[in-house]
Every structure is written in structure tokens, then in C-alpha cells.
């Protein structure tokens, strides 16, 4: 099936394809990492995995993530040999891990995608120094208005910018891909927030190893 556009991934997510055939592992992921998972699937020949994604905008409502993932697990578990949850804790305060434990499925280690893209070990080492950093991934750069600008009301009340961002000093664009257009857009996002800009190429970080381990276990 074709990949939905970014707006659809943000608000609706992505339905699972037909489980018939070779698909034995279902990855239930965040819409914000759908493209990256599909890129990894193609690059690694993971033909036996199927992907479904929840709306990426749950990122802004972390209290809704664990119940939504549990619902997806219950919905799909009879159709696949195994399920892997492509979320980190993502602001659920351990509730998502509880859901996964209850259903006997694995999830990505770490606090959030910024951490696993950078590599959880490295991110933990540097997080104290990066306290005043505002992160954006490739997806979040593309969907900056939907995830940051409009939800914070900055489209209607730009004067609130410094209320939100006064203590931040820089925007780090964690780049998963080499894309000059996206780099320019990220630089523009930093300017709109009044922050210094830094680009960090992370690639897929721990996302690749986490899903790779799950695919190995499911073969």
C-alpha cells in the first residue's frame, strides 16, 4: 500500500495492510516515524513485517497513547504471530510499558524518539547539557505548524512565543535523512521560535536496531 501523506499520518495514522501472505510481525507505531520504519523495511528487506500507525498528533496528548496502543494490540493480535510497539515511553510515564508488559509485547527503549534517534545511551549522557534544547525530527519539521505553531496558539497570538520559549536557547534538528529543503525549513522554524539552529544528522539511531531485533525474533 502507498504511504499516507504527512497530514494523514498526523491526524489519522495508517491502517495495517492485509495480514495474509508473508506478514508475521505487526509493528504498531507512531505516525511520526512511519516513513522511517518503511524506509528501514525496504532497506533491510523486512518483507515479513506489516506496519500500522496511530495518529502522530498523539505526541501532543501523551495521556492518550497507552490506551490507543492497547486498543490496536487487541484489534490485531489474532492476525499476526507477533506484535512490536514502535513507541518509546513518549510522555506516558511508564503506562505504555505497563500495557506492553500486560500483552507480552516489546517496545522501543528510552524516553522518546529524540532519544532513540540520537541513541539512548548518548542522549542520556548529554541530556543535562541539552536541557534548553528544543528538538525536531524530520517529520516534525515538515509538520511544524500542526505540532508546534498552531497548538501553542502562535498563529493567533505570536506575542506568546517568549512565554513558551524564553528558557530555550536552541533548536536541534535531528535529521534522519539528507534533505537540503528540510534543513532550510528547520532553520526557518528555529528563526520563528527565536532560537539558535543546529542540525544533527542522526539517521535512524536505535530505531533500526530495535525493529531489527523484533524482526529477528519473529522470523
Partner 1 sequence: MSDEEDDEIILSELETEDLVLQMHDDLYDGLREEIEEGVNILLERGWQPYDVLTKALVAGMTIVGNDFRDGILFVPEVLLAANAMKAGMAILKPLLAETGAPRMGKMVIGTVKGDIHDIGKNLVSMMMEGAGFEVVDLGINNPVEAYIEAAAREEADIVGMSALLTTTMPYMKVVIDAMVAQGIRDDYIVLVGGAPLNEEFGRAIGADAYCRDAAVAVETAKDFIARKHNQMAAG
Report, in Å, the least distance between residue 32 CB and partner 1.
Answer: 18
- Closest to partner 1 by CB, 5 or 156: 156
Per CB under 8 A, residues contacting partner 1 are 62, 89, 91-94, 111, 127-128, 131-132, 152-154, 156-157, 160, 163-164, 167-168
Angstrom CA distances, 208 to 43, 66, 69, 113, 162, stand at 10, 22, 20, 12, 36
**Can you tell me the distance from the alpha carbon of 19 to that of 82, in angstroms, rounded to the nearest whole number?**
12
Give min distance, CB of 208 to partner 1, in A.
23
What is the nearest approach in angstroms of partner 1 to the Cβ of residue 154? 8
User: Residue 115, Cβ neighbours under 10 Å: how many?
Assistant: 24
Cα of 14 vs its chain's centroid, Å: 13
* Contact criterion met (CB below 8 Å) for 115 and 124: yes
Question: Which of 78, 128 has the CB closer to partner 1?
Answer: 128
> In this complex, which beta carbon is closest to partner 1, that of residue 49 or of residue 148?
148
Nearer to partner 1, 71 or 169 (CB): 169
Spatial CB neighbours of 55, under 8 Å, sequence gap ≥ 6: 9, 10, 11, 12, 13, 31
Q: How far is the CB of 195 from partner 1 (least distance, A)?
A: 13
Nearest CB to partner 1, comparing residues 124 and 213:
124
Quote the least distance from Cβ 156 to partner 1, whole Å: 7
Contact 22, 48 (CB under 8 A): yes
Supply the angle between the helices 95-103 and 65-76 in degrees, to the nearest 10. Answer: 20
Amino acid at each position: 500500500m502507498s504511504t499516507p501523506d504527512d497530514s494523514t499520518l498526523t491526524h489519522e495514522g495508517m491502517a495495517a495492510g492485509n495480514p495474509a501472505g508473508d506478514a508475521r510481525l505487526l509493528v504498531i507505531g507512531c505516525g511520526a516515524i512511519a516513513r522511517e520504519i518503511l524506509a528501514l523495511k525496504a532497506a533491510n528487506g523486512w518483507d515479513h513485517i506489516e506496519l500500522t500507525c496511530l495518529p502522530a498528533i498523539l505526541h501532543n496528548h501523551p495521556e492518550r497513547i497507552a490506551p490507543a496502543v492497547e486498543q490496536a494490540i487487541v484489534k490485531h493480535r489474532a492476525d499476526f504471530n507477533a506484535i512490536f510497539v514502535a513507541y518509546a515511553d513518549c510522555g506516558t510515564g511508564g503506562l505504555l510499558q505497563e500495557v506492553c508488559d500486560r500483552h507480552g509485547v516489546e517496545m522501543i527503549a528510552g524516553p522518546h524518539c529524540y532519544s532513540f534517534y540520537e541513541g539512548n545511551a548518548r542522549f542520556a549522557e548529554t541530556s543535562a547539557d541539552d536541557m534548553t534544547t528544543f528538538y525536531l525530527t524530520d517529520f516534525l519539521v515538515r509538520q511544524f505548524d500542526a505540532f508546534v505553531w498552531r497548538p501553542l496558539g502562535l498563529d493567533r497570538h505570536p506575542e506568546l512565543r517568549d512565554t513558551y520559549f524564553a528558557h530555550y536557547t536552541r533548536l536541534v534538528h535531528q535529521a534522519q535523512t539528507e534533505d537540503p529543503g528540510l534543513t532550510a525549513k528547520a532553520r526557518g522554524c528555529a528563526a520563528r521560535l527565536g532560537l539558535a539552529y543546529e542540525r544533527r544528522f542522526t539517521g535512524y539511531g536505535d530505531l533500526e536496531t530495535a525493529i531489527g531485533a523484533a524482526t529477528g525474533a519473529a522470523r
